[in-house]
Copies of this chain bind each other. A is one copy, B any other.
Amino acid sequence: MTQLVNEGNAMRADAQRNRARILAAADEVFAAKGAAASTEEVAAKAGVAIGTVFRHFPTKNDLLTALMKELVRELAAEVESLVRQGDPATSLFTFFAHLVERASSRKTVVDLLGVDIRVSEQLQLLREAVGILLDQAQAAGVVRSNVLLDEVMALLAATSQGALHSGWDADLRERTLAIIFTGLRSAQL
């Protein structure tokens, strides 16, 4: 039985609390300033000493990766819920829009896709989840059948990055996604 959520088996209460605090602080800090922000700042925002951060995440990269895992986990959970209770015809678009909206204010979401972190492994999970949404949408006939998961993931990444780096507002986001969704839906010209 694979567990998606597990990272604190047998940990003292205070340690768990600190781990959570650090992750939260890291999320905020890296979301605002990107992965280049200093670990020291994360510690400060979490209200712990620098050593504590490194005890929980021996490397800055480990911290970044943990953040990433957490994010992927949340996203996967969201997909799962959409699969279970959402409208198969629109779930893909709903999720797509939501992710991009989220990315527009969180540098983390985006930075993590780049750099030297071996994301692949983590992203695999998300990829599979999105694959289900795509299947559903294609089964419902609202997405062309020759669209591959690769392109959907690529568009997802691209728009997430675009939304962040270029600071799209809600309106622009909507209009831009509309074009992409149209591209996914309609018959090739």
A114 CB contacts on chain B under 8 angstroms: 34, 165-166
A sample of 5 cross-chain residue pairs with beta-carbon separation below 8 angstroms, ordered by A number, consists of A36-B36, A154-B176, A180-B183, A183-B184, A185-B189
Cβ of A156 to closest chain B Cβ, rounded Å: 9
Main secondary structure of the interface of A (DSSP, over half): helix
Contacts A151-B175, A157-B165, A158-B161 known; list 5 others, CB within 8 Å. A158-B162, A158-B166, A185-B189, A186-B186, A186-B187
A31 in contact (CB, < 8 A): no
Residue among A165, A179, A185, A189 facing the most chain B CB atoms (10 A cut-off)? A179
Cβ of A57 to closest chain B Cβ, rounded Å: 17
A154 CB contacts on chain B under 8 angstroms: 162, 166, 168, 172, 176
- Docked complex: A128-150 residues within 8 A CB-CB of B: 147-148, 150
A158 and B150 form a contact (CB under 8 A): no
**Taking the full assembly, how many copies of this chain does it contain?**
4
Cβ of A157 to closest chain B Cβ, rounded Å: 5
Cβ of A133 to closest chain B Cβ, rounded Å: 16
How far apart sit A188 and B181, CA to CA, in the bound complex (Å)?
Answer: 9
Residue among A155, A163, A180, A182 facing the most chain B CB atoms (10 A cut-off)? A182
A113 in contact (CB, < 8 A): yes
Cβ of A75 to closest chain B Cβ, rounded Å: 16
A178 CB contacts on chain B under 8 angstroms: 183, 188
How far apart sit A147 and B150, CA to CA, in the bound complex (Å)?
Answer: 26
Cβ of A51 to closest chain B Cβ, rounded Å: 12
